[in-house]
Amino acid sequence: MPLAAQYTLPPTPKQVDYARQIANRLNARIPADAASDRRALSEWIDRHKARATVQRSTGTGATSKQVAFAERIARAKRRAVPDECFRDAGLMSRWISANR
């Protein structure tokens, strides 16, 4: 039996918290085998995180404060804020962070 197969590490507390956040957003369950093995939980997170991000980001437009701040940055840097950022608070937040 290979050495790696004999020893499994438990997931880290941060990894468990992140997996629970994803599971809550997707209304999904974390399999028992994944909840007890660091590598298996990491694989579960990788398979589900993109879908959780899409679900979280849909439907909430950028706040007025985000829009005002982004427009100030855009004027100072002589750039346009992409249209999709106005429809999604998460995208707007990432655009602001990248263009500060």
**How much of the chain exceeds pLDDT 70, in percent?**
87
Say yes or no: 52 and 70 in one domain.
no
* Domain range enclosing 44: 9-57
Contact 41, 72 (CB under 8 A): no
Mark whether 51 and 71 lie in a shared domain: no
Given 23, 39, 57, which residue is the final one in a domain? 57
- Please state the domain count of the chain: 2
> What's the pLDDT at 87?
84
The closest alpha carbon to 81, from 56, 53, 62, belongs to 62
In a shared domain, residues 33 and 70? no
Is residue 13 domain-shared with residue 49, that is, in the same domain? yes
Mean pLDDT of the region 57-73 = 83
> pTM of this prediction?
0.50
Same domain, 19 and 43: yes
Contacts of 42 (CB under 8 A, 6+ apart): 11, 15
- DSSP class of residue 90 equals H
Please report the beta strands in 6-95, taking only residues with DSSP state E, as ranges in sequence order: none
Check whether residue 52 and residue 24 sit in a common domain: yes
